[in-house]
Amino acid sequence: MRVLVVSDTDAGRREIRRLLDSAGFETVDPAAVGAGALLAAADWQADAAIGVLLDRRPTIQKSSAVMLELGIALGRSLPTLIVGRAPKRFPALTGISFVSASIDDLEAQLDLELKIELFLEGVRMNAPRRVDDSVPATPIRSPAVLPNDRRGSQLEEQVAELLVASGAYLIASSEATSIDIRSDLTFLVEGLESRLGLILVEVAGSAGIEQSRLRSKSDQLAEYVARSGAGLGLLIVDGPEPPAGIAYRPLVATLTISQLRQQIAEVGLSAMLLHLRNSAIHGLGGR
């Protein structure tokens, strides 16, 4: 089996190639066959790809080259695994298998080796398995009614009731806690489980609230999304307009409850969430 190895650090590339070589896999290095866009025209074959993103502060040159090379691998429909440092996530690579890892010591290297072996075993069997177990493959879903353990603020109840009425399945507090999620609301949409996964919701009353607190809410939600591997975070506020000064956060969209209600009425919950997720990936924050 041949594996394309794309990395933003020399140390990461060497370590992954060492692991693959010791396991009997052949590696393909873009630096040898055609880096960046040249990789698309180069003559090479591979059965899978591994993206090693361990640089804490990569240069624009490194980031653009690696993302382009991963895009070429995805364009060839190669099963792809992303190896990165926790809790760092990469919104543009949403939907690709991700494992938190490092190469700082022997224990971390052995852990990474096991994760890669599991991924490649799945590729060999033509059924890549999920290697990131931060979210259960089939979370327990609550009935389509507002659970008693979700009774909170009036705004939270309004958001929950609106989501449930639109087809969302709320995750019970006990189940969400068991997978280390502490958002106000957590839900799935039937038919979009594989495309979106879990959706996390934080609600905040904007009247009289300091902008710093809203920014803190947004930061916190982005952290929850990254930690849990969720597909999208929604920060829902009251008021006629979204509060000014809320900067883009990875995979977080900010809406007022009026906008939430209007968009659901116009396009439906599923289409709204897919649009918001795609907008968030491009850094548009829900626009």
Contacts of 180 (CB under 8 A, 6+ apart): 134, 227, 228
3-state secondary structure of 6: strand
User: Which among 56, 90, 124 is the end of a domain?
Assistant: 124
Q: Are residues 218 and 180 in the same domain?
A: yes
Query: Per the structure, how many domains does the chain have?
Result: 2
Q: Which is more confident, 31 or 88?
A: 31
Q: Give the CA-trace dihedral at 79, 67, 72, 281, to 10 degrees.
A: 70
Q: What CATH code is carried by the domain that includes residue 15?
A: 3.40.50.2300
Which of 187, 184, 179 is closest to 227 using CA atoms? Answer: 179
CA distances (Å), origin 39, targets 11, 20, 50, 67, 170: 21, 21, 15, 12, 44
Cα separation, 207 vs 285, in Å, equals: 21
180 — pLDDT class (breaks 50, 70, 90): low
Q: Are residues 275 and 153 in the same domain?
A: yes
If you average pLDDT over every residue of the chain, what do you get?
79
pLDDT of residue 59: 81
Q: Residue 137: is its pLDDT beyond 60?
A: no
Q: Residue 120: is its pLDDT beyond 90?
A: no
Which of 183, 188, 246, 251 is closest to 220 using CA atoms? Answer: 183
Q: What amino acid occupies position 171?
A: I
Whether 135 is in a domain gets the answer: no
Whether 287 is in a domain gets the answer: no
- The boundaries of the domain holding residue 26 are 2-124
